């Protein structure tokens, strides 16, 4: 027998039957869009904990089992067999590319890797000590002023070109943020290199010396980028969709996603993990910090632990944990005191009753920062690296949303709890 959701307002006696929709996996949803017209109620779900904001075919997460699929492919298989460009194609177009499609896509992305020379002057407006995320938000937002020939969101070709441009230019923009902060000249992309190889080249080479991309670093970055490419309707992706729902151009939408990513509860966590490890300082201090994390009167949280959706081990954390050890061993950093501290903290938290009861496991960012550090990437660039990888997911989600025939502007409602109507005082009685 088909189950039904019937909502009855006991005050008026009115009832409404809510249609149920089933997805491929995950809990079914009931459609509340007629509830206001029928019963004169809104629904209340702060933080969208149980609200599906869209239908999507891109990414699926089973938080209880700790599973993540891109277009149906398990993340473990993509991490083992695929590469970031192929994953980008998969997320954007829905299928793995054929050999020729893969070569064509990689070529298109590399052909768009330079940005307009005028954009360089934007960087000069930022102080050398500006946070690279602040620079990135500004520079990406300004792309719409340079590439307005691809901002007609109703034209599928414009949408595709804008998506290609965004994916292609992000490494160049990210490297520009880094070079600006250390006062070195910008390095042009080298289209003979891979996506991540090019990013390393633009960050670490100088016009005065030859630079060889380290294949270990290139591969580790490619893997981290695969793991970060998409994560369904998280805060930054929902921000991109919400901005896009108002028909804002794609460059502006992605800039808003970068802003949402910056916070320490989201993409800023990888940077916050390193700050926290430095603050903890040594293994002996771990119990004190674990107690602080459990104390409700202390705002301190263990950065890199917990996740809104995963109530089991983050599958990306499992993959990146092994890579973290391999990379550090290969680069000769396996005795890094920070890594030892991180492993001791992980072990202590996983054995702690509070963390067990609250199902708080290390997330991907607990480890990604340690790898970035081993690759010589400074802490304030960690979230920038995340933004480069996540741009692929953002553009795929944006394209899916724009192509939706029933698209409407995103406009949440509220429960107003402010003052009741009152009159402006006639006399000056406000001193």
Tell me which residues touch ligand ACO (CB under 6 A): 265-267, 269, 293, 301-308, 358, 360, 363-365
Q: In 25-54, which positions are buried (b, 16+ CB within 10 angstroms) versus exposed (e)? A: eeeebbebeebeeebeeeeeeeeeeeebeb
Q: How many CA atoms, within 13 angstroms, populate the side-chain half-sphere of residue 204?
A: 17
Nearer to ligand ACO, 165 or 266 (CB): 266
Q: How far is the CB of 28 from ligand ACO (least distance, A)?
A: 22
Catalytic site includes residue 358: no
Shortest distance in whole angstroms from residue 48 CB to ligand ACO: 10
Nearest to 137 by CA among 174, 172, 184, 162: 174
CB of 399 to ligand ACO, least distance (A): 22
**Catalytic residue at 307?**
yes
| Nearer to ligand ACO (CB atom), residue 294 or residue 407 | 294
> Which residue in the list 112, 201, 307, 352 is annotated as catalytic?
307
Q: Indicate the burial class of 224 (C-beta count within 10 angstroms; 0-12, 13-18, 19 or more).
A: buried
Nearer to ligand ACO, 180 or 266 (CB): 266
Q: Nearer to ligand ACO by C-beta: 142 or 233?
A: 233
Q: Cα–Cα distance between 360 and 345 in angstroms, integer?
A: 13
By C-beta, is 98 or 356 nearer to ligand ACO? 356
> SS3 for the chain, per residue?
CCCCEEEECCCCCCEEEECEECCCCCCCEECCCCHHHHHCCCCCCHHHCCCCCCCCCCEEEECCCCEEEECCEEHHHHHHHCCHHHHHHHHHHCCCCCHHHHHHHHHHHHHCCCCCHHHHHHHHCCCCCCCHHHHHHHHHHHHHHHCHHHCCCCCHHHHHHHHHHHHHHHHHHHHHHHHHHHCCCCCCCCCCCCHHHHHHHHHHCECCECCCCCHHHHHHHHHHHHHHCCCCCCHHHHHHHHHHHCCCCHHHHHHHHHHHHCCCCCCCHHHHHHHHHHHHCCHHHHHHHHHHHHCCCCCCCCCCECCCCCCCCCHHHHHHHHHHHHHHHHCCCCCCHHHHHHHHHHHHHHCCHHHHHCCCCECHHHHHHHHHHHCCCCHHHHHHHHHHHHHHHHHHHHHHHHHCCCCCCCCCCCCCCCCCCCCCCCCCCCC
Report, as residue numbers or ranges, the catalytic residues. Answer: 307, 365
């Amino acid at each position: 027998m088909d189950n039904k959701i019937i909502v009855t307002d006991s005050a008026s006696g009115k009832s409404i039957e809510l249609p149920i929709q089933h997805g491929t996996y995950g809990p079914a949803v009931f459609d509340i869009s007629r509830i206001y017209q029928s019963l004169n109620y809104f629904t209340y779900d702060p933080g969208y904990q149980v609200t599906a904001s869209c239908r999507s075919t891109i990414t699926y997460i089973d938080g209880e089992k700790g599973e993540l699929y891109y277009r149906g492919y398990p993340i473990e298989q993509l991490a083992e067999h695929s590469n970031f460009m192929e994953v980008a194609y998969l997320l954007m177009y829905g299928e793995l590319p054929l050999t020729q499609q893969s070569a064509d896509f990689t070529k298109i992305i590399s052909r768009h890797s330079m940005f307009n020379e005028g954009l360089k002057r934007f960087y000069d407006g930022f102080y050398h000590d500006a946070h690279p995320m602040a620079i990135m938000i500004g520079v990406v937002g300004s792309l719409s002023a340079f590439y307005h020939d691809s901002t007609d969101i109703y034209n599928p070709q414009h949408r595709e070109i804008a998506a290609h441009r965004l994916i292609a230019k992000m490494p160049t923009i990210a490297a520009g943020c880094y070079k600006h902060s250390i006062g070195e000249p910008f390095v042009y992309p080298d289209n003979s290199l891979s996506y991540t190889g090019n990013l390393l080249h633009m960050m670490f080479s100088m016009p005065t010396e030859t630079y060889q991309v380290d294949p270990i670093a290139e591969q580790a970055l490619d893997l981290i980028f695969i793991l970060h490419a998409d994560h369904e309707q998280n805060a930054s992706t929902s921000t991109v969709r919400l901005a896009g729902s108002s028909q804002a151009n794609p460059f502006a939408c992605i800039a808003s996603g970068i802003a949402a990513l910056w916070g320490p509860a989201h993409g800023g966590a990888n940077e916050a993990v390193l700050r926290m490890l430095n603050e903890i300082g040594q293994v002996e201090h771990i119990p004190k910090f674990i107690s602080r994390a459990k104390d409700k009167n202390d705002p301190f949280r263990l950065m890199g632990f917990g996740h809104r959706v995963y109530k089991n081990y983050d599958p990306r954390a499992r993959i990146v944990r092994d890579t973290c050890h391999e990379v550090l061993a290969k680069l000769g950093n396996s005795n890094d005191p920070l890594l030892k501290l991180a492993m001791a903290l992980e072990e202590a938290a996983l054995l702690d009753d509070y963390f067990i009861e609250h199902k708080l496991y290390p997330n991907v960012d607990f480890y990604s920062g340690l790898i970035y550090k081993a690759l010589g990437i400074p802490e304030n660039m960690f979230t920038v690296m995340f933004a480069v990888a996540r741009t692929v997911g953002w553009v795929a989600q944006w394209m899916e949303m724009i192509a939706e025939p029933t698209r409407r502007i995103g406009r949440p409602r509220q429960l107003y709890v402010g003052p009741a109507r009152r009159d402006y005082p006639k006399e000056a009685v406000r001193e």
